[in-house]
Amino acid sequence: MATCTCRIPLIATSSPESVAEEIERKFLVIGDAWRGLAAPAYLCQGYLSIDPQRTVRVRLADNDAWLTVKGSNHESTRLEFEYEIQKSDAREMLDVLCLRPLLEKRRSRIPHAGLIWEVDEFLAENAGLIVAEVELASADQHVELPEWAGKEVTGEARYYNSSLLKNPYSHWRESV
């Protein structure tokens, strides 16, 4: 049982259903064949914490808003906990509490070979960067790559959204 100094006791559990785990792979996008396959949604997100062991993100997308806590990456896997929050709360956190710059992007959710690919076209300080992510059921799941999936960048820290705050794509010296 874990020790906690707060007044609420922690309950130890070994049930795999009690742990939220994100398994994803990330690729650079090549060409324009992906455009038009899905209507993009505008996303604005900011970070309350970018500690490598735990990030806390606020995201606003159309009429929805979320607070997300993510653990550190272990290859293509990490803990992830996501909670829907009030849109007004998200706006206030983005305006007042989040680190700068905020990340802005257009996201297209594109079905391919039984999976949903999320293509993020970054805007503002990260304009020109386009990445595709696919969430998997297991780390060894076979993935059929679409023609527009280029170099795999899973695990490359500079492509993490939280890293793009400290080192925006527009500041990169070498090409990718």
Which residues are bridge partners to 18 per DSSP?
Answer: none
Peptide bond preceding 101 in cis form (omega within 30 of 0): yes
Residue 115, exposed/middle/buried by CB under 10 A (0-12, 13-18, 19+)?
middle
Class of domain 20-171: mainly beta
Give CA–CA dist 39/176, Å, rounded: 26
Q: Give the tens place of pLDDT for each residue, 110-123.
A: 999 999 999 999 99
- Mean predicted confidence (pLDDT) in 152-162: 93
Identified catalytic residue from 47, 159, 160, 169? 47
Average pLDDT of the chain is: 88
| pTM for this entry | 0.83
CB 130 within 8 A of CB 146: no
Residue 107, exposed/middle/buried by CB under 10 A (0-12, 13-18, 19+)?
middle
47 counts as catalytic: yes
Q: pLDDT value at position 46?
A: 97
- Mean predicted confidence (pLDDT) in 143-151: 98
- Mean predicted confidence (pLDDT) in 125-129: 96
Q: pLDDT value at position 62?
A: 85
The position carrying tokens 């929805």 is 64
pLDDT beyond 70 at 47? yes
pLDDT band (50, 70, 90) for residue 174: low
